[in-house]
Structure 1
Amino acid sequence: MSWGLAYYALEWAIRITALLIVPVRKPAATATSWLLLIFFLPVPGIVLYLAIGSASLPRWRTRQFTARLPEFSKLANSIAREDPDGSKSEDLTEKVVANSGLMPAIGGNNLELLVDYQAMIDQLVTDIDEASERVHMVAYIFASDSTGKKVVAALERAVKRGVQCRVLVDPIGSAHWFREIQSMLRGIGVDVRATLALHSLRRWTRRDLRNHRKLYLIDGDTAYVGSQNIVAADFRPGIVNQEVVVRSQGPVVAELEAIFAVDWQNETGEWLGDKISIPKAAGNARLQVLASGPDFSPEGFRSLLLQVIHSACSRILIVTPYLIPDPSVLAAMKLARLRGVEIVIAVSRVRDHPIVHLAQESYYSELLDIGVQLVAARDGLLHAKVVVSDRQVGVVGSGNLDIRSLILNDELSLVIYDEASIAALAETVERMIESAGPISRTEWDARPKLARVVENLARLTSPLL
């Protein structure tokens, strides 16, 4: 048999095999995109699919997480018993989040919204400087720039006081700085580990499946959750990030410590869950933690988003830097509009990821057609990830409105239920919307035809983005 004939046979073997394995437990659009790629480019396509096509985790990791579920349930029950509201809630969103992320809603928390980028870093440094026992951090980006070095200096002072500092850093998100920041942290005595390390065969998983959480914990009684990484606001030249972060104290911090404990065990084998204590009530905010991703419920964040949209009666506000909704989210928005629900989505005009932004723009016409109001920040990147519905529920976290956050990456969301906190969050979002410019139907229809073609070509990649 000639080499040419052998290669031809190989290509058809790949195509036939792909038909059997690619569609398994995948959304139709995602499976179709992969099959098209493999059918046209069998060898490169199957290599790419093997690298990033499957979101399944190694069996050892699944077994490890399953083994901890009884302890998770025990902690969740203990937290629920501390609920100052006293009775079990019948709120459907609380039930969805509890069944997806395993943690209950809990009252008695203090909630502070941080929207000033540098002020958030300064407050975090102040809290680290006051730590007496431990500092735990998960960062998608931890840079060795001036902002990162400011946090490193605070961690160094903490280590010298005898504080145990543990840091998880994603090596893809922090690729530009990873080796340097790892060396800096190890050099001052911080126990730093890579999340989903790329060099480990035992921990092999989808290469683009990342831990996208941003979580900073001090002494088990203060927590930061939101969209802000440890990096300068303008780390991309000419682009200034705008963020929303929640600083909280109270029983909900125990839930966030439990999420860190899972992430830490996955990378080190060391379980910290037995060291978690439940802080006493510190305020009136009612909060609930949702961890989503392959370890927990892979579709937890999407389930939360769908529940919020389906339950809305009057108005939904969304802030997201990346807007590539899947069919279920689009259908939920269409149904909400038919109910008369006003939907306002704030995005950015800045193109920090050109292909992603082009794919995003391909959805604007469809959203405008159903009556969704789109506004775009004139300056900087709205990197915040926020949802507010009817002033009845709010969400602040790390999840974008794209396939990556909806069902792939490890994400973290803080769900807010009390009236005062939601009102404050809604006012924050309203200010962002007021400072942005509307994307009108007339403006959008006037863009060049070539732009539409390029956008639609980019949209074909959206199930893979």
Structure 2
Amino acid sequence: MTINWYLIFEIIVFINAALAFITVFREKRDIAATWAWLIVLVFVPVVGFLAYAFIGRKLPRRQIYRVKNQVRMQLDKRVMQQRTQIGFDHLPADDVTEETSSLVSLFVRTDHAFLSRKNRVKIFIDGNSLFHRMIQDIEAAQSSIHIEFYTFYNDKIGNEILDLLIKKAQSGVEVRVIYDSWGSMGTWRSFFKPLMAAGGHVEPFLATHSALLDFRLNFRDHRKIVVVDGKIGYVGGFNIGDQYLGRKEKFGNWRDTHLRIVGSGVFGLQARFILDWNVTDKHHPIPTDYVEPKYFPLTKIKGETNLQIVSSGPDSDLQQIKMGYIRLIQTAQKRLWIQSPYLIPDDSVFDALRIASMAGVDVRIMIPNMPDHPFVYRATQYYARLLANDGIKIYFYGNGFLHAKTMVVDSKIASVGSANLDYRSFKLNFEINAFLYDAKLAKELEDIFENDVTSSELMTPEKFAAQSLYLKFKQDASRLLSPIL
């Protein structure tokens, strides 16, 4: 009896294709991601299904948490008390807020992000100065230290901060740490055992104790939050690791942007941490029926910055930060300057950028000139090429690796945080950004951008056209997978 191998092959291909369609269409997702996964599942049998098992499935509903009303009520109460204490007198930034009231309303409605007034905000673009100040604040902590990072490496700076946290925990300060097991790959749970022995609490986000066996690899905690005594907060793009201080030869100088916030804006960071902590560690939760005043202490800070702390993630279908980015783009009348290590916008953001440019707005986007993830970088180059053809100025940053996630509009409004301009940050990662209504800070970020331009190459349409056919092929191929990168 002769075995008809051709028939067997046809049957396998048919079954694989049928399973691919069933697998992808049984979960609600946007059409771009649907077709991207179909390509993977149909043309890469078996391996494609393994990839889907780890990074393709949506977060199970039982794992999706909802905002607890008790935390929000406590937060609202403390915010109103804070406002009463510092007063409601007029600030220059309030003029900007009136111009962009729709943006403020958007975040209030979609993320319950209150407008925090009169904060003191400092911008950091160098890891050495950032961690120096952060360590000073942690050393001075009296009641609580809450830390949440995508990356917490077992290296020189990681051990320095860990030793300090151990010391503070031994002195009676409440220390809680959330880290992402995938982003902190190579840092085993045993690394944190001395801190736990000292009375601190440490957990991987969503109780993911094994990154290798985690079937939710696509859903990462990309947030970077530090809150000290409920009074001082940090948010931005830096993680904890030597490479973020320029100590890794592969990346060289690390160019990032981070914020230090003092004032009621810290309440938004604290509330987000409490919510993340309680879904992560169910054995040592922070009570939400009554949030202790130490977590939201009243201060008499009178700064100049109004801001909103906005978070987003796969626990919501609203994509709050992406909507904020789109609204900022729509608001721009003269200038729109963006820095992002990854430029893989979905259709809505892509069209908003093109419309702004064609309407006469000076749109500039700065990205790295080196990859940290090959496919992601080639897809970034693809979209950069398209946008350059539409008149947008694309800069390749050349002094090390650019990891900043910033957007500045008309020297008036800005966003700094953890969210990149890509599908992953919009839909898959848990992110957090500060949206700043302060002309002085916006101008400072523009000055930083202009200084970075001196270390960058302007990529004109002619330069993109001169790239090799092989490079363009890699860019085009990577773009097909952009919805799932």
TM superposition score normalised by structure 2: 0.88
The offset of 1:390, in angstroms, is 1.2
The offset of 1:150, in angstroms, is 1.5
The offset of 1:440, in angstroms, is 2.1
What is the match of residue 21 of structure 2? 19
What is the match of residue 271 of structure 1? 286
Q: How many angstroms apart in 1 are the aligned matches of 2:287 and 2:340?
A: 33
Look up the equivalent residue of 2:76 and give its one-letter code. A
Cα 1:448–1:194 shift into 2, 3 Å: same
Whether 1:115 aligns to 2:130 is no
Match of 1:351 among 327, 350, 371: 371
Q: How many angstroms apart in 2 are the aligned matches of 1:115 and 1:218?
A: 21
Cα 1:74–1:158 shift into 2, 3 Å: closer
Cα 1:430–1:366 shift into 2, 3 Å: same
Q: How many angstroms apart in 2 are the aligned matches of 1:57 and 1:194?
A: 18
SS in 1 for 2:421: coil
Cα 1:204–1:58 shift into 2, 3 Å: farther
Q: How many angstroms apart in 1 are the aligned matches of 2:268 and 2:147?
A: 14
Q: How does 1:12-51 map to 2 (within 5 A)?
A: 12-13=14-15, 15-20=17-22, 22-23=24-25, 24-51=27-54
- Structure 1, unaligned runs of 5 or more: none
Cα 1:235–1:298 shift into 2, 3 Å: farther
What is the match of residue 328 of structure 2? 308
Look up the equivalent residue of 2:457 and give its one-letter code. G
Cα 1:86–1:71 shift into 2, 3 Å: farther
Q: How many angstroms apart in 2 are the aligned matches of 1:238 and 1:44?
A: 30
What is the match of residue 138 of structure 2? 128
Which deviates more, 270-279 or 167-176?
A: 270-279
Look up the equivalent residue of 1:144 and give its one-letter code. N
SS in 1 for 2:206: coil
1:310/1:332 contact within 8 Å kept: yes
Match of 1:411 among 431, 447, 461: 431
Which deviates more, 204-213 or 247-256?
A: 204-213
1:253/1:278 contact within 8 Å kept: no
The offset of 1:199, in angstroms, is 4.5
Q: How many angstroms apart in 2 are the aligned matches of 1:127 and 1:463?
A: 40
Q: How many angstroms apart in 2 are the aligned matches of 1:324 and 1:447?
A: 19
Q: How many angstroms apart in 2 are the aligned matches of 1:448 and 1:65?
A: 49
Match of 1:238 among 250, 257, 266: 250
Q: How many angstroms apart in 1 are the aligned matches of 2:22 and 2:158?
A: 47
The offset of 1:352, in angstroms, is 1.6
Q: How many angstroms apart in 2 are the aligned matches of 1:347 and 1:181?
A: 34
Whether 1:65 aligns to 2:78 is no
Q: How many angstroms apart in 1 are the aligned matches of 2:8 and 2:80?
A: 63
Q: How many angstroms apart in 1 are the aligned matches of 2:447 and 2:109?
A: 30
Look up the equivalent residue of 2:177 and give its one-letter code. V
1:55/1:205 contact within 8 Å kept: no
Cα 1:9–1:447 shift into 2, 3 Å: closer
Q: How many angstroms apart in 1 are the aligned matches of 2:57 and 2:78?
A: 36
Match of 1:93 among 103, 118, 138: 103
Q: How many angstroms apart in 2 are the aligned matches of 1:190 and 1:249?
A: 24
What is the match of residue 418 of structure 2? 398
1:101/1:296 contact within 8 Å kept: no
Look up the equivalent residue of 2:250 and give its one-letter code. G
Q: How does 1:271-350 map to 2 (within 5 A)?
A: 271-273=286-288, 274-275=291-292, 276-282=295-301, 283-296=303-316, 299-350=319-370
Deviations 1:113-145 (A, max 9, x none): 112211111111111110011100001111121
Whether 1:450 aligns to 2:452 is no
Q: How many angstroms apart in 1 are the aligned matches of 2:411 and 2:4?
A: 66
Q: How many angstroms apart in 1 are the aligned matches of 2:89 and 2:38?
A: 53
Q: How many angstroms apart in 1 are the aligned matches of 2:329 and 2:319?
A: 15
1:56/1:205 contact within 8 Å kept: no
Cα 1:462–1:150 shift into 2, 3 Å: same
The offset of 1:160, in angstroms, is 2.4
Look up the equivalent residue of 2:228 and give its one-letter code. I
The offset of 1:252, in angstroms, is 1.1
Look up the equivalent residue of 1:313 and give its one-letter code. Q
The offset of 1:290, in angstroms, is 0.4
Look up the equivalent residue of 2:261 and give its one-letter code. S
What is the match of residue 226 of structure 2? 216
Cα 1:339–1:189 shift into 2, 3 Å: same
- Structure 2, unaligned runs of 5 or more: none
Q: How many angstroms apart in 2 are the aligned matches of 1:453 and 1:6?
A: 33
1:347/1:376 contact within 8 Å kept: yes
Look up the equivalent residue of 2:164 and give its one-letter code. A
The offset of 1:153, in angstroms, is 2.1
The offset of 1:20, in angstroms, is 4.7
Deviations 1:307-345 (A, max 9, x none): 111121111111111111111111001111121111111
Look up the equivalent residue of 1:459 and give its one-letter code. R
SS in 2 for 1:121: helix
Deviations 1:350-375 (A, max 9, x none): 22212211111111221111111011
1:144/1:180 contact within 8 Å kept: no
The offset of 1:15, in angstroms, is 3.2
2:148/2:225 contact within 8 Å kept: yes
Deviations 1:27-49 (A, max 9, x none): 22111111122223444333322
Aligned residues: 460
SS in 2 for 1:363: helix
The offset of 1:157, in angstroms, is 2.1
What is the match of residue 272 of structure 2? 259
Q: How many angstroms apart in 2 are the aligned matches of 1:338 and 1:125?
A: 46
The offset of 1:7, in angstroms, is 8.8
Match of 2:113 among 103, 108, 123: 103
The offset of 1:206, in angstroms, is 2.2
Cα 1:46–1:229 shift into 2, 3 Å: same
Which deviates more, 219-228 or 30-39?
A: 30-39
